[in-house]
Structure 1
């Protein structure tokens, strides 16, 4: 049972890394396609996409990083992930543009790094 629990947590960490990368790509493509070319604004800048993405990141991040603390006792991945999630939430509040992109990319980078640290401390 215990190994199944940790396998699920490891999968969640990997999913968190993947989601972080997809979020960063979405953000950069959104800025380039909408800002430079004027394409895809309704889809790429939709508030619903950002809210759903943040909700997924919160669930995956808090569950996997929280379980990581229970497993290995290290709080740093959870703190880094929490900071990254906070920056992602702040990005939603500042509106579209460069500040949103910067906050989002920094936030998802911290979340991805937290998941990587969580995977490495699981050994």
Structure 2
């Protein structure tokens, strides 16, 4: 089935120097690591809030906004280069969906709903980067 689809819809490929192939793999790995740090931050904030209500520095909205900007930058660069390299849009679409969920979570008041949607968005974004990394290999 995959061969039939591949023959009908060949991936769009642009030749890239070997250096950029290594950069592509590293960008997705770094993006997955940043997604993991975001997940750890969300979970740590939840635990800290459960233990003590004085976790003010971790709850500052600027941390979330800067984190989202970094996630968007890594997503555009890593997933965009993946499209140019292997020609598959699915990893970028999955990653963009995760970024959208993360951005939407910023509009919610701090609490369980925001944390839940952020964690789901981060997991979907990491899945997009992993799909991108697998398509590149």
TM-score, length basis structure 1 = 0.94
- Structure 1 residue runs without a partner (length 5+): none
Q: Which residue of 2 aligns with 1:51?
A: 65
- Structure 2 residue runs without a partner (length 5+): 1-15
Q: 1:30 to 1:3 in 2, by over 3 A?
A: same
TM-score, length basis structure 2 = 0.85
Q: Which residue of 1 aligns with 2:118?
A: 104
2:78 counterpart (64, 71, 74)? 64
Task: Report the RMSD for the aligned CA atoms in angstroms.
Answer: 1.2
Q: Which residue of 2 aligns with 1:89?
A: 103
**Alpha-carbon displacement from aligned partner over 1:5-46 (angstroms, at most 9, x marks no partner):** 121121110111001111011101111211x12255221111
Q: Does 2:51 match 1:33?
A: no
Q: Greater helix percent: which structure?
A: 1
- What number of residue pairs does the alignment pair up? 122
Larger Rg: 2
Q: Which residue of 1 aligns with 2:9?
A: none
- SS in structure 2 of the partner of residue 41 of structure 1: coil
